[in-house]
Structure formats: C-alpha cells, structure tokens
Structure 1
Amino acid sequence: MIQTIPQTNFHDGNCIDQIGYGVWKVSDTDAEIAVGKALKAGYRHIDTARIYGNEDGVGRAIANSGIPRGEIFVTTKVWNSDQGYDKTLAAAEASLERLGMGHVDLYLIHWLQPQRGTYVDTWKALIQLQKEEKATSIGVCNFTIEAMEELYEHTGVRPVINQVETHPYFPQAELRAYEAKHGIAHESWSPLGHGGKLLTDPVILAVAQKHEASAAQVVIAWHLALGSVVIPKSVTDSRIIENLEAIELKLDDEDLAAINGLDRGPEGRISADPATSDFE
C-alpha cells in the first residue's frame, strides 16, 4: 500500500506533492489513458504543458476519474512563442479551455528565452493570473539565478518553484542552494537522465541491489532525499506504480554520497542551456 505522498510547501502558502506524473512526449490519446492509470495508482499531481499537445487528454482523464478536482494538482505552462503580457493571458485562457478547468494549481513560464526579452512581462501576466485565481500558484521552468533575481527586482514576487533538468549526472547544486535560500522549490525534469545511461550506471545499480529496488526507484529516492519535486514519466502500468513506490525507499548517507559523486558538472547537461536557448 502506497504511503502518504510527501509534500513541498510553497512560499505563497500552497503546497505540491513531491512526486508527480509527467506527460512530456505522450500523445493526447495516450495521455488520457496514462493519466487515468496514474490517478488510479495514487498520483494526485499531474504535469502537462501547452507544447505537449495533450492538455485535452489530461483534462478528460481528470474529469472521468471520479476524483474531485480539488484533490488533483494540475500544472501547465506557457510556451515560448506565447510569451509577452497579453499573449500569455490569452495562452492561459486557451490552456484552461483545453483542460476543461476554471483554474490550474500551478502555471509556469516554460523557458527563459533571454534573447526575446519578454520573460519579465510574461511573469507580470502570471501575477495577474494568480490575482484572478486562474492560477493558484505561479513559477518558472528552466530559469537561471540571474533571471529569477530580475523577476523579483521588477515585481517583488518570486516564483514558488523552478522546474529544470536535474539528475545525478547534473544535480544543479548551485541553483538548488540559491532556491533554498529564497524559499523557491526545486522541481526536477528528466529526473532519470536520458537514454538509459544513468539507470545502468554501476553506482546506481549497486545501491539498487543493496535495497532490492529498481534503478529508477533509487534515482527518484535521491531526488526526494534532496527535497526536490520530481515528475518521472512512464506509460507502462508497472513502472507508473513502481515510480510512485519510490517514496517508500529511504537512502542512507552512504548511498547519497555515492550518488552525489556521479556529478559531471556542465558536461552532465543533456538539454539546452536556459542561459542561451532560443527556440519556438
């Protein structure tokens, strides 16, 4: 039986389940099925985005789940081409319509996109959406320390969370330290790395053998031990359940030290660098 899912508190007084279910690269039809399975397994935190093209499916799954909307935490995001004050407000309305909801629990700026120079105005739009109760909490994805400071300097409002690539090969220690200092939660995307390399790493496999757990459970437990919110994705029934059961795995100091030793610094990054990325 799954234990109670731990939660992370936001500085705005709200909170989020520390483990959620992500639907990146899942089709709209498959997302409806997969989210339904995730909710049945016990997940109550669902992470989608406009660019994923599956908000409709996520909304249908939630509507058909029989679970009260108030018990499910829903995140979606404004895409790069929708940045800017007015465009963001319109994009949020469109996302809510696709989801079939009056509000989302968390609305995020998907990427910094510094060359566009629109992220501050976009953040101001998110603040307005929160005032209008269309987004209960607001945050960012793929933001640098400098950009989060700029948001605060212009608005006096800090994001409640920063969702960014994080895994043992690229643990984002400096970024996490800044966020902890300012009460910003850290959320890990691509938490299991890429291409299966991390899950076959001898260090991860040794810890998994020690605890009679899967490699994925070990990595998820590492994220949880660091205090990060984590959104592993799988459309396989057994792995959907297995990933959630990682909350029951408690790593000791020796385990954590071994996994922390896998840090490859900047060479461990597998995605675009938020400081320089610019794409539609």
Structure 2
Amino acid sequence: MNKQELLHKWMNDELTGAEQSALREDPEMRAMMEIAAQTRSMEAPEFPKDAVWKNIQQLNKPTKVRTLQPLKYMVRIAAVFAIVAFSYVFWQGLDTDINTAVAEKTEITLPDQSQVALNADSFLTYNEQDWKDARTLHLDGEAYFKVAKGSAFVVETDLGDVTVLGTQFNVFARENLLKVSCFEGVVSVSLDQEVITLKAGEALELETGSAVKNLTTSLSTPRWLQDESSFNNAPLAEVLNELEHYYNIQLEVSDIDLQKRFTGSFTHQDLDIALQSICNPLQMTYSVLDQNKVVLNEAK
C-alpha cells in the first residue's frame, strides 16, 4: 500500500495498528500526525452566524448613488439671493408712519430737511425712498410745515391736496373738515372742483357739503404751537372734539345745542381752565366726575 492510500485511510480513521506504525516511519507523515493530535484538543470559537448574515444582507442592498446636479444647486443659491434682495427692496419701499397720541405733539425732520410739527392725535405717512422724486405725504390730523425749497411739496388729505414749493403753512384735516393757513410764501390747495391759491396771511376752511370759506390770519404761527387752540365762530361740536384731542377725557353732553357758535380759545395745559374758557361764554356748566369723564349742561 503506497503512502497516498495510507494517508487516505488515516484521514478517515480506518488505519490498522500495523498500518499506523508503517505511516509513522515516514518523517513527514509522523509530523503531520503529531500536529493533528495536538489540534484535536483545541476548540473553535463560536461562529457569529446571525451577525455575519446581517452583514451579508447589508452588502447585498443597492448602494444609493447621489448624482451631482450643479445647475440645481446654482438655482437654489440664486433663489436665496433673490429672496434677500426682494426683502431689502420690500422693507425699503415701506412707508414711514408717524402717529401722535392724545395730548402728544412731536417734531419731524423729513429727508430734504423740511420741518414738521405734528399736533396731538394726528397721523402722518410718507415714503422715504421715493422722497427725492416725489415730496408727497399724507396727513390725517393737524401739522405745521416749514418746507425746504425744491420740487413741489404735496400734503394729501381726504378733502384735498396742498401743494407748495418752499414755505410755511398749517394744515388741519380731521374727518369732514379741512383748514389751510399760509404764513409765508404761496400755497396751492387742490379741491374736487377748483384750485385755490393762498398767500401769506390768507386761509381757507372747507367742510364736507359746504362752500369754501376764505379767511385771513394775522398770526405768524398757529396757536397750537403755543399750547392753545383758537376758534372763530366755530360750532361747539368742533370745539369739543378738539378738546378731546388734548385731554384724555370722555365728554357727555346733556340738552346742549352742539351747533351753537364759539369764538375764543382754550389752553392745552389745564383741563379746568380749558373747560371754563368754553363753558362760561356759552352759559354752560361742567362737572368732572372722575379723571376721564366730564359732563356738560346748560346753565340754569
């Protein structure tokens, strides 16, 4: 029996004692048999079949390939810049709004250095970005203007527009009443049906549904700048309405003709003195019930 046959029988554990002795006589076979004997006592580590199977499954999954799309990213970047630019233009294009509360006055410097004194409980709006091209603002309330020379300066109101080039004037625009007084230069007032020009010392008054009143003024500035309101043959309703703009009060009128006329003035500094200035000439009485409520009655 040759060596290969003996080796085959040894691997199958089929050798007889004599055959095993004959196999050991060969040095190479004897070394192999000793190594096999030594390794029989060794234990193989536990095979992690679950973990290996999981890894195999992961390897078999298709790999997600991200395709480069430079145009797509450029569009996204351009969109971001467009949003930023639009936001800037949007905010720049917003109007500037200035509002005063009851009994509050403020002074404003416009982009062209024109000066505005805004009376109590008034609202002014303009666009600063467009100011160089169009010096236009909207007024609801009362304001005194010192206009720097330049292009046309327009004050828009609900009843008409006042246009100047460079002058000093006062505009009163509340609800259905418009008053314009010119203290320096020339003022143009555009109404629905006509355009009226006022020179220094001239004024006009327009109430919805009534004809325009052409008036004069000898004042150099409006009285409200000195904390006083003045009236010339004005209806009581207008006077009381103005009183509420300077004092945080609620007026209650009982059996009083609100169309009776008043000529005079009242202060913005003291409510009791202001009420006396109105009530005494018109034979009325008043009662201050609390800090915010005032009741007016005909004198008995």
TM-score of the superposed pair, with normalisation by structure 2:
0.24
Compare the two structures and name the one with the higher strand fraction. 2
Larger radius of gyration: 2
Greater share of residues in helix: 1
Return the structure number with greater relative CO, CA threshold 8 A, min gap 6: 1
- The TM-score, its normalising length taken from structure 1, stands at 0.25
